Amino acid sequence: MNAYRVVGRVAVAVLALAGIGAVWQTIAGRRDQRRFPAPGRLIDVGGHRLHINVAGEQSTEPAVILEAGMASMSSNWAWVRDELARDGLVVSYDRAGLGWSDRGSASMDAVTSAAELHTALEAAGIDPPYVLAGHSYGGLVVRMFADRYPDEVVGMVLADASHPDQWANIPASRNGRTVAVGNRVTALLARVGLLRILRAERSFIAGLPPREYAEMRAYLARPQGWSAGAGGLLAWGKHSREQVNAVRSLGSLPLVVLSVTEQDRYADVLSRLQAELATLSSNSRHVTISGATHYTLVSEQQYAAVVADAIRAVSGAAQSSGPVRELVLG
Tell me: do 58 and 174 sit in the same domain.
yes
Kindly state whether residue 325 falls inside one of the protein's structural domains. no
Do residues 22 and 170 share a domain? Answer: no
Q: Do 222 and 253 touch, CB atoms closer than 8 A?
A: no
**22 and 8 together in one domain:** yes
6 with 43, same domain: the answer is no
Residues 56, 23 share a domain: no
- Give the model's pLDDT for residue 55: 97
- Whether 329 is covered by a domain: the verdict is no
Q: Which residues pair with 224 in a beta bridge?
A: none
Instruction: Establish if 204 belongs to a structural domain.
Output: yes
Whole-number Cα distances in Å, 297 to 61, 148, 203, 231: 24, 28, 12, 25
Q: Decide if 162 is inside a domain.
A: yes
pLDDT, position 326: 87
pLDDT by 10s per residue, the chain, length 330: 555 454 444 444 444 444 554 555 566 567 777 888 999 999 999 989 999 999 999 888 999 999 999 989 999 999 999 999 999 999 999 999 999 999 987 789 999 999 999 999 999 999 999 999 999 999 999 999 999 999 999 999 999 999 999 999 998 888 888 888 888 888 777 776 666 666 655 678 989 999 999 999 999 888 898 899 999 999 999 999 999 999 999 999 999 999 999 987 888 999 999 999 999 999 999 999 999 999 999 999 999 999 999 999 999 999 999 999 988 675
Distances (CA, A) of 15 to 19, 21, 182, 196, 305: 6, 10, 21, 18, 47
Does residue 312 lie within any of the structural domains?
A: yes
Note whether 80 and 162 are same-domain residues.
yes
With respect to residue 326, please indicate whether it lies within any of the assigned structural domains: no
What is the rounded CA–CA span in Å between residue 201 and residue 209? Answer: 15
CATH of residue 307's domain is 3.40.50.1820
Q: Three-class SS of residue 71?
A: coil
Residues 135, 12 within the same domain:
no
Range of the structural domain that residue 17 is part of:
1-35
DSSP 210-258: HHHHHHHHHHHTSHHHHHHHHHHHHHIIIIIHHHHHTPPP-TT--EEEE
Tally of structural domains, the chain: 2
Same domain, 3 and 97: no
Shared-domain flag, residues 30 and 58: no
Query: What are the residues whose beta carbons fall under 8 Å from the beta carbon of 142, sequence distance 6 or more?
Result: 65, 67, 114, 132, 133, 134, 156, 158, 161
pLDDT of residue 8: 44
Query: Same structural domain for residues 47 and 28?
Result: no
For residue 10, the model assigns a pLDDT of 40
Same domain, 79 and 108: yes
* 327, part of any domain: no
Q: In sequence order, what are the residues at sequence separation of 6 or more whose Cβ sits closer than 8 angstroms to the Cβ of residue 119?
A: 43, 45, 46
43 and 30 in a single domain? The answer is: no
Residue 59 DSSP class: -
Any domain includes 328 = no
Report the distance separating Cα 209 and Cα 215, nearest Å. Answer: 10
